[in-house]
Amino acid sequence: MSLDLAFGIARTGLLATQQALANVSQNIANARTEGYTRKQVDMSATAWAGQPMGVRAGVAARTVDAALVNERNARAADAAAAGLRERLLGGIEAAHGTPEAGDTLADGVGALQTAFLALRDSPADSGLQRAALGAARDLASRFNDVARAVAGAREEAHTGIAAEVALLNRQLRAVAGLSAEIVATRASGASTAALEDQRDAAIATLSESLPVRPIARADGGVTLVAGGLTLPLDPNRDVFGFAQGAIGAASFHGGAGTLAGVTLQGTDVTARLSGGRLGEMLRLRDETLPRFAAELDVAAASLAARMDAQGLRLFTDGAGAVPDVAQPYAAPAGGQLGFAALMQVSASAAQDPRLLRDGTHAVAASPGGPTAFTPNPPGGPAGFTGLLDRVAGFALGEEASAGNPWPAFASGGLGPDGTLSSPFFAPRGVAGFAAALAAAQVADRAAATEAKDRATGLRDGLDARFAAQSGVGTDAEMAAMVQLQNAYAANARVMNTAQEMWDLLLSIGR
């Protein structure tokens, strides 16, 4: 081997080692930087005509398992969705109260029944009449509070959809811009590792809103797929759209509904979006929370209707009307939709508590329903108990009259569009139904918490695995630096020795 060749080989070794040392230094400096992955510079020997020519360092590349990254993003999306669901349903659970505190809807029905039983023992007691009226007001207020909590959670989900769509568009534009830069940089032969880290971070943020599966292209670009949809990547425009608008108890999406859906380049794709915060918000807005509201409405409307059927118009809406529970839930003429939020003690009962003893109107007997009833007339017996027996025994019980059970509570045809169903068996008594709906709604929150904990645990485990595979281990990097420094010193010695030999040869020649 000539001295020129030895000198050249040592020089390439110095340059390659210098590049590798710079890469190791960068790894160590960014060991705690969020989203940074370990970079590696591979070296390869070069030769010409069978003669070694030295060593060449490649561009810095990442050591990343794409399948692991995708699974990690999927679990993060699950955790984000479950966390959102837990938070929104937690407010509804708080509004429901607890049996231990005695402030649930079922407790309110029980307190009303107890008040009527106490009044039956002393029908003329004006204090007991006012106490029964107070129990009715408390129960109406409890229905109002829970219904408003449900409506507030639905409003928050609806508003949140707009924010998630805006986030989606920002991240898609970011991914598009980074992909274009990666393609151009790769074509020039430079390293794209740092840009790929940035793109992965953008996709991870995007996936918490809407789970996407990236498909790598040969040129360094990427195709994003979500729910069978290929997402357009354009750095200069938004591809998702959402017209927020107002939301009310009768609002729904689809068909003749007034709620906007999420569009992709102008096409409504709401039904194809699931998972992540966006999918969960759509699910809450269009399924879970309308069902919760309907169950409350059915309970409140049935209570008012059963009281009215026995001869006491105790609960009405703001206009003094009692819902017609024989009609479908969403029928406008039925007055059930939204009733729980409007429910109040009737103006007549509020003004004259004696009506809770005497009754407000006559009732005609109906086959399989309540028996006939005539109110206690003005100046009638102070010890009148006819209505009190009907209210405590039948309106708040499971039968309309002896041997005739009340019709079952509606468990299907719920929601503003009539497409939803309750997931539980409904008892026939109002108190039992109120307890069942509260248990089901609280169980939904508990299930969300369990799902969040499970998804978070899986995500954290995948994070640890990713950090072990692709993160920077400072001990390993320091060991690599020592090896590279030794290699640098060895190449320097070769160059120094070659220089000394040249100097010796030149001195001999002189």
Mark the ranges of the chain whose per-residue pLDDT is less than 70: 1-16, 19-20, 22-23, 27, 43-55, 57-58, 475, 477, 480-482, 484-506, 509-510
| pLDDT the model gives residue 281 | 97
| pLDDT the model gives residue 416 | 96
According to DSSP, residue 398 is labeled: S
Q: C-alpha angle 145/149/150, rounded to 5°?
A: 120
Does residue 482 sit in the same domain as residue 335? no
| pLDDT the model gives residue 18 | 73
Q: C-alpha angle 101/82/259, rounded to 5°?
A: 95
| pLDDT the model gives residue 345 | 98
| pLDDT the model gives residue 4 | 57
User: CB neighbours (10 Å) of residue 282?
Assistant: 22
**Domains held by the chain: number:** 2
| pLDDT the model gives residue 11 | 65
CA distance 335 to 325: 8
- Does residue 468 lie in a domain region? no
Does residue 248 sit in the same domain as residue 280? yes
| pLDDT the model gives residue 406 | 95
Contact 223, 236 (CB under 8 A): no
Closest CA to 168 of 98, 265, 97: 265
Given 3-state DSSP classes, what are the helix, strand and coil percentages for the chain, each rounded to the nearest 5? 60, 10, 30
Does residue 153 sit in the same domain as residue 23? no
> How would you class 51 by CB atoms within 10 Å of its CB: exposed for 0-12, middle for 13-18, buried for 19 or more?
exposed
Look at the chain and count its residues: 510
- Does residue 496 lie in a domain region? yes
Does residue 205 sit in the same domain as residue 240? yes
CA distance 344 to 321: 10
The tokens of 98 are what? 């607890």
| pLDDT the model gives residue 483 | 72
CA distance 281 to 159: 9
Partners of residue 213 on adjacent β-strands: 225
- Does residue 294 lie in a domain region? yes
Does residue 427 sit in the same domain as residue 501? no
Phi, psi (rounded to 5 degrees) for 47: -150, 160
Residue 229, CB-side half-sphere exposure with 13 Å CA sphere: 21
378 is in which domain, residue-wise? 69-457
- Does residue 465 lie in a domain region? no
**What pTM did the predictor assign?**
0.88
